Amino acid sequence: VQLQASGGGLVQAGGSLRLSCAASGHSFRLYGVGWFRQAPGKEREFVAAVSGSGDRTYYADFVKGRFTISRDNAKNTVSLQMNSLKPEDTAVYYCAADFPYSDFSLQYAHWGRYDYYGQGTQVTVSS
């Protein structure tokens, strides 16, 4: 599985962006997908994740109510709709895919538990 993240850019506070994670390879529907972000000088942190079928979603507390993760397995894509953006959302955003040999609900927030990683896409929110 290869992942390609896109959709980042520069936006004013309060604005919106939609990130996409496009996957190549077979059986994408079997993979849980997560979004993570890393701001300069900070640790990488979990943002949101979705199960392979799309029936379960998970969010970090700081994005609940503002971000929505979704997937289209027919198109092998996972999207992250980001609304009400804040300057503190500025970071490089990464998507990652996990073949859940164990329960995805127990590992979705752990970067090191994923199997495949995409390159980052920069999101910059100006005040």
What are the residues whose beta carbons fall under 8 Å from the beta carbon of 49, sequence distance 6 or more?
32, 33, 34, 35, 57, 58, 69, 104, 108, 109
Q: φ, ψ for residue 101 (rounded to 5)?
A: -65, -25
Q: What is the pLDDT along the chain (127 residues), one digit of tens a residue?
A: 899 999 999 999 999 999 999 999 878 999 999 999 999 999 999 999 999 999 999 999 999 999 999 999 999 999 999 999 999 999 999 999 998 777 899 999 999 999 999 999 999 999 9
User: How many C-beta neighbours within 10 Å does residue 80 have?
Assistant: 27
β-strand pairing of 77-82 with 45-50: unpaired
